[in-house]
Structures are given as C-alpha cells and as structure tokens.
C-alpha cells in the first residue's frame, strides 16, 4: 500500500510541478526576452526549472536531518543532473528532428556548449574536492553558492553571438475564458493574469506565485519518496536518485523542448547545462547553509554507505557530463547533432538506471566498477589541502 500511495503522491506532485513551471516559463520568458547567446537558458530558465531540486533537497534535509538527508539531496541533484544532460538534449533532438521534422540537425553555438560545459565540470570537481568532509557546515554551502555567483558574473563578460538562436521571440497569448476554469486546469498564467497583457509587475508576481506552488509540491514529493522507499525497502537516497530526480527534471525538459521548437537551440541546450550548475551550487548549497544555520547542527557524514554512494555517483556524474559535453560540442562544430546523438544519449541514461538498480540489488555484479569510482573520488578528494581524512 505504501508503494502505491508513494507513487500516486509522486505522480500528482510531478503534474503540479510541471504546470507551475509553465507559469514560471511565461514569466521568465517575458523578463528575459532580450537575452541572447544562451544566457537566458543558462540563468533565468535554469534557475526557474531548478526550483524543484532546491526545494526537494531542503525538504529531504528537514525530514532526515542527517547524512541520509544530505545524501538524498545529492541523489536528487545528481540524478537530475544526469537526466538533464542525457534526456533533455535527447528530447530536444527527437522532438525537433524526428517528431516535428523541422530541421535535420540541431544548430547550436559550440561556444555556448564549451562555456557551460566547462563551468559545469568545474562545479562538479569543486563539489568532489572541497565538499567531502565528514562534517559539513554552512561554510560548505556558502562555498557552493559562491561558485554560481562567479558563473553568472562570467556570463556578463563572455560575449556570444546569436548563432543557434534562429527564431527566439517571446510570445504570450492572453487567456480566454474565466480564471476559475484556468485554475481548475492548473493554467497558472491565465488564472493569475486573466485576459490582460503581460508586463513586468505581472511577470514578477507570476514568477513568485509559481515558485511558491513548486515548493509546496516538492514537500509532497519528498513525502511520496519517503513512503515509496519504506514500501520498497530502499534507502531514501536511491529513491531520490531515480524518482525525485526525474520528477524535478520535468520542467527543465518541457522548457527546453518548447525553446527548441521556437528555434532557440542555444537556450534549449544551455538550460540543461545551466540547470545542472544551479543544482550543484545552489540546490545543494542553499539548503545546506539554511539548515545548518537554523538548526545549529552540522551534517555528520559518518556513514560508510552514504559516503560510498555520494563518492561513486559524483564520479559517474563527472564522467557523463564530460562525455555529453564532448558529444554536444563535436556535434555542434560538425553540424551533426542529429537523431543518432539523441538515441545514444537515451541509451546512456538507460545504462545509468541499470547501474543504479544493480547498486541496490546486485552490488557484487558491479563491485569492480564501484571500487574504481571510489578510488577516483578519493584521489580527487586528496587534492584538497584542507581535507581531514
């Protein structure tokens, strides 16, 4: 019964998150309508669509209040990051090329890929090297957040042309019918704005309302994951890695697919990469900072199971990020980012899920791979001169 209820709660939360992020997209589209070079996708779209990861990580910390809670946050952000760099670009490619047959390949600016891909890999390496203590404090969270600030500031100085933004024009259609009907349909934009035109004030109000609704849905998402984990006898961080990660990545996927079908290919891909940077830096850093400061506690990472889980899956994330960035960059340079690339990315994600299931049910079958990942993690952690063994 717990499994069924957990899945139902996760499904409903996923729908609410999806519809709330539609409202966020309308608001962010208006506010970022003049941004070019993938900046909107890497910042406004990425932050908005990553709100679910931030709230989910915070609620996991509040529910567990220990290493398992933080490991669940790592599971959510890592699983979501893998989903973002595999499934979102694949969905964009398949939607534009295979389903809608608009183009034969995705025309992305390779400079945008290099910019965001490099920043993402540096963020993951910093997460591995500098946030690997057995006792985590607010300073670790503040360090992660500072990385995102540096990334955003760098966007102001790294100039990009409009290559890859072919028809990116913001459009908002005023609603038809009553606001009550729109609310029942979870059409948040039209329920709030009605048949009025979008302006800056309405856009910000819609943005904040959407964010609040996402937060409420994420609270129920974490409860659903907790029930599902109890019913399946899974650690919560494994549930988070698969179910919470996929649920919180729905908005990223929808926003990227819509952007790509409007011709904004840079924003579609940079949203996936930028979302991961925000997930790693803010979706982990802010909840860690708030929780440790408000509770007066530190997060004791003393459990071997949690440490092994965090270590191995961080390295998997780094490897898959490097691989996917190379696929995007080479495909963009050679103008071959086509359907085969999309299918290959889906296959990689399927292998990731199979590895996760093997980690839970048949750990002996992947023992060699797991130990190799831990050794790589330990080597990178050893590069931190302040690390305490």
User: Which candidate, 158, 145, 170, places its Cα nearest to that of 267?
Assistant: 170
| DSSP bridge pairs for 299 | 136
All residues at 6 or more sequence positions from 80 whose CB lies less than 8 Å from its CB, including other chains: 53, 244, 245, 246, 248, 249, 252, 275, 276, 279
Name beta bridge partners: 136: 299
Q: What is the pLDDT of residue 159?
A: 63
Mean pLDDT of 276-284: 85
pLDDT of residue 295: 80
* Token pair 């650690």: residue: 235
Q: Which domains does the chain show, CATH number per domain?
A: 2-381 (1.20.1420.30)
Read off the pLDDT of each residue in 157-179 and give the average, rounded to a whole number. 58
- Judged against a pLDDT cut of 70, whether residue 163 lies above it is answered with no
What local confidence, expressed as pLDDT, does residue 146 receive?
92
Task: Write the DSSP symbol of residue 173.
Answer: P
Rounded CA-CA distance 173/187 in Å is 13
Supply the mean pLDDT for the chain. 80
- What is the torsional sign of CA 14, 350, 118, 121? positive
d(CA 259, CA 241): 26
* Cα–Cα distance for residue pair 195/177, rounded to 1 Å: 8
Helix (H) or strand (E) holding 328: helix 304-334
Residues 284, 53: Cα–Cα separation, whole Å: 9
Looking at residue 36, what is its pLDDT?
Answer: 57
What pLDDT digit, counting tens, does each position of 6-60 carry?
Answer: 889 988 988 888 788 778 777 877 777 666 545 665 666 667 667 788 888 888 7
Hey, CA dihedral for 66, 67, 70, 72, is it positive or negative?
negative
Quote the percentage of the chain above a pLDDT of 90: 7
The three-class DSSP label of residue 266 is helix
- Report the pLDDT value the prediction gives residue 387, as an integer from 0 to 100: 62
Instruction: Reply yes or no on whether the pLDDT at 263 is more than 70.
Output: yes
Looking at residue 335, its pLDDT comes to 73
Phi and psi dihedrals of 338, rounded to 5?
A: -115, -160
Distance (Å, rounded) from C-alpha 248 to C-alpha 18?
9
pLDDT digits (tens, 9 = 90+) for 294-351: 888 777 766 566 677 778 888 998 999 999 888 888 888 877 777 888 899 999 999 9
User: What is the Cα–Cα distance from 277 to 362, expressed in whole angstroms?
Assistant: 32
Residue pair 366/358 in contact (Cβ under 8 Å)? The answer is yes
**Under a CB-based contact definition with an 8 Å cutoff, are residues 160 and 270 in contact?**
no
Q: Give the range among 51-55, 156-160, 234-238 with minimum mean pLDDT.
A: 156-160
Specify whether the CB–CB gap between 153 and 121 falls below 8 A. no
């Amino acid at each position: 019964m717990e499994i069924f209820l957990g899945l139902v709660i996760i499904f409903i939360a996923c729908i609410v998150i999806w519809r709330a992020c539609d409202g966020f997209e309308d608001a962010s589209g208006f506010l970022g309508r003049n941004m070019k070079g993938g900046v909107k996708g890497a910042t406004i779209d990425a932050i908005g669509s990553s709100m679910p990861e931030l709230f989910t990580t915070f609620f996991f910390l509040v529910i567990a209040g220990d290493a398992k809670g933080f490991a669940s946050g790592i599971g959510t952000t890592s699983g979501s990051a893998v989903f973002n760099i595999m499934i979102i670009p694949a969905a964009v490619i398949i939607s534009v090329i295979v389903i809608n047959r608009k183009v034969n390949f995705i025309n992305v600016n390779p400079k945008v890929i290099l910019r965001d891909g490099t920043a993402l890999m540096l963020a993951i390496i910093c997460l591995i090297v500098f946030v690997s203590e057995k006792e985590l404090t607010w300073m670790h969270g503040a360090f992660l957040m500072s990385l995102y600030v540096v990334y955003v500031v760098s966007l102001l100085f790294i100039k990009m042309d409009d290559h890859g933004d072919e028809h990116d024009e913001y459009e908002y259609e005023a609603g038809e019918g009553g606001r009550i009907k729109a609310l029942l349909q979870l059409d948040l934009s039209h329920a709030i704005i009605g048949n009025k035109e979008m302006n800056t004030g309405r856009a910000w109000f819609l943005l904040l309302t959407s964010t609040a609704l996402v937060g409420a849905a994420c609270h129920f998402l974490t409860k659903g994951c907790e029930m599902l984990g109890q019913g399946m006898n899974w650690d919560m961080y494994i549930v988070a890695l698969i179910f919470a990660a996929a649920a919180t990545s729905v908005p990223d996927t929808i926003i990227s697919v819509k952007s790509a079908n409007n011709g904004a290919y840079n924003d579609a891909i940079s949203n996936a990469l930028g979302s991961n940077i925000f997930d790693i830096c803010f979706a982990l850093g802010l909840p860690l900072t708030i929780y440790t400061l408000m509770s007066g506690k530190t997060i004791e990472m003393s459990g071997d199971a949690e440490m092994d889980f965090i270590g191995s899956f961080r390295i998997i994330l780094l490897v898959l990020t490097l691989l996917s960035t190379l696929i995007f960059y080479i495909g963009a340079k050679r103008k071959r980012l086509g359907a085969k690339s999309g299918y290959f990315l889906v296959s990689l994600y399927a292998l990731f899920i199979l590895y996760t299931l093997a980690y839970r049910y048949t750990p002996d079958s992947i023992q060699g791979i797991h130990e190799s990942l831990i050794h790589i993690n330990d080597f990178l952690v050893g590069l931190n001169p302040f690390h305490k063994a």
